[in-house]
Each structure stands twice: as structure tokens, then as C-alpha cells.
Homo-oligomer: A and B are copies of this chain.
């Protein structure tokens, strides 16, 4: 939708971050960041790869993995992970919450001021220094709610993983 706008903002941040860390600003880094920034559905590395290849058909899967990793290190993206859906990337780096569908494993963003002032426990004396937090709400998305009970999947039944269009080749 407003990919251009998002992309531009993020691109500037990328330039700054690369300069600060003495890293070269490569074409691949730019395109991967833009592909990620244009989405709010927490794509997997392969989903990012597919999108990147629309603009840069020659990128290798390896590079996309490496660049995504770099973006996380630079603080321009965040890795998230929920059982069943594996590792995903989120271009939103500010504090926010997630809605996780226990049926289709989709992960959606969810922001609300009601959860911004959570009482953050002080555990420093004990064993942990808290930097930030995220509330994960588990439940059923609209599609899965419609589609059936969503209670217990049949024991030993396989979860229907939505493997996205996958771009094969190294």
C-alpha cells in the first residue's frame, strides 16, 4: 500500500545504521529492507525472499537470510517466533503486542494504549533485568473461528501450515 513512504523512512535509517557500524550499504540490504518494511504480516525468510526476487530476481536465499540477520542486529527489524509458524520477521521495532491464532498460526500486530503501562516487575535483585515486553494473545482469528470449532484438533492431526508460496532454488 504505502510502501514507498515506509520504505523511504526505513531506508534512511538503514543508511545511518550502516554508516555507524561501518557496513557497506549494498543493493541487497536496501531491497530486503524495503520488502520487509512494506508488510505487516510478519513474513518468513522465504516469504521475504519471494518478494525480494520480484525486484531482484538473482538474489540468493543465503543472502536474504544473512541480510535479515543483519537487519535484526542493526535494530531495524525484530525476529518473532511462535510454535507452528517458525521464525518470522517484523519491521516494527517499537513495543507492541501480538495476536496469535492457535489454529492457523497467523501472527498479527495489536497495539492498544491499555497495555502500554503494564506494571513491569523489578527482578534485578533476583535474576533478570527486563528491557521490554510484549503481550501475546492467543485465540482464533476470524477465518478460523468461522471455519469450525477450533477447540481440539484431532489428536495427532496435523496442523494446517500455511506454507507460503515458496521460491525454490538456493
Give the interface of A toward B (CB within 8 A): 21, 23, 66, 69-70, 73-75, 79-84, 86-87, 99, 101-102, 108, 110, 112, 114-115, 118-121, 123, 126-142, 145, 152-157
- Of chain B, the residue at the smallest CB distance from A67 is B156
Complex Cα distance, B162 from A90, in Å, reads 24
Task: Enumerate 11 A-B pairs (CB-CB under 8 Å) in ascending A order.
Answer: A23-B155, A70-B156, A73-B155, A79-B84, A81-B86, A110-B121, A127-B142, A128-B140, A132-B139, A133-B136, A134-B136
Which 5 pairs between the two chains have the least Cβ-Cβ distance?
A79-B83, A130-B139, A131-B139, A127-B142, A81-B83
Tell me the number of copies of this protein: 2
Asked whether A128 lies within 8 Å of B152 as measured between CB atoms, the reply is: no
Task: Classify the interface of chain A: helix, strand, loop or mixed.
Answer: mixed
- Once A73-B152, A102-B131 are accepted as A-B contacts, the answer to whether A81 and B79 lie under 8 Å apart by CB is no
- Of chain B, the residue at the smallest CB distance from A83 is B79
B99, B101, B133: the one contacting A135 at CB < 8 Å is B133
Complex Cα distance, B112 from A123, in Å, reads 11
